[in-house]
Homo-oligomer: A and B are copies of this chain.
């Protein structure tokens, strides 16, 4: 516990191999977890088709969750390419990020349940607010991540600009604000409007993480 500096076994800075492998394992499990909910519906003989169609909201929730986790994986992949090494401090922040990802299936299913079955308008407001709060809280560790990198520029990969990293902090702040607005919309105005807002947010996320870079790549084809 109070080991002196001279007895230290390893450098406090390590490669990102295990951080990456562990994170990919968590992403892989979360993205496949919701398929467990896709079950053969109870049905009377001859009514399989209608029973399958009645589950539509479960399929949508599955697709929404798959797309959302996929987008976050792409972001995580991009961000980890900014660094060449990690510390225990950064590993803690990464664990915080993974906590947000691991939770996703829960608000997704609450949402599916509230909109599918005989959920009242009040229940739907609760479900939309819960989802928006979960999504908003997922932005906090990203802010910590970029802030940590700004304070420890020696962890950055070669050729990565410190200003670029600092500028990235605006993205989680904007995301958090927009999700909170979406949640307020769903709670005070209309749950359906809030649900639409969440869908728009995820599509927007996927476009800014995927689309813009994709466009750039077309213009500047690398060797």
Question: A residues within 8 Å of B by Cβ?
Answer: 1-3, 5, 7-14, 17-18, 20-22, 24-33, 35-36, 38-40, 43, 45-49, 52, 66, 70, 73-74, 77-78, 80-82, 87-89, 91-92, 95, 98-99, 102-103, 105-106, 109-110, 113-114, 118-120, 122-123, 126-127, 130, 152, 154, 157, 159-161, 163-165, 167-168, 171, 174, 208-210, 212-214, 216-217, 220-223
Chain A interface mostly helix, strand, loop or mixed?
helix
Bound-complex Cα distance A74 to B8 (A): 16
Max count, chain B CB within 10 A of own CB: residue among A28, A99, A209:
A28
Bound-complex Cα distance A38 to B34 (A): 12
CB distance from A197 to the nearest CB of B (A): 18
Partner pick for A52 among B3, B32, B78, B130, CB 8 A cutoff: B130
Q: A1-B171, A21-B21, A113-B40 are in contact. Are A70 and B95 (CB under 8 A)?
A: yes
Given contacts A12-B220, A46-B122, A87-B217, 16 further A-B contacts (CB under 8 A): A1-B171, A9-B161, A9-B168, A10-B160, A18-B20, A25-B27, A30-B32, A35-B105, A39-B106, A40-B110, A48-B114, A49-B126, A70-B92, A74-B95, A88-B214, A88-B217
Bound-complex Cα distance A196 to B163 (A): 44
Q: A31-B26, A88-B217, A120-B46 are in contact. Are A18 and B222 (CB under 8 A)?
A: no
Enumerate chain B residues within 8 angstroms of A114, measured Cβ to Cβ: 48
Bound-complex Cα distance A89 to B105 (A): 25
Bound-complex Cα distance A26 to B26 (A): 10
The chain B residue with its CB closest to the CB of A69 is B95
Contact status A7-B163, CB under 8 Å: yes
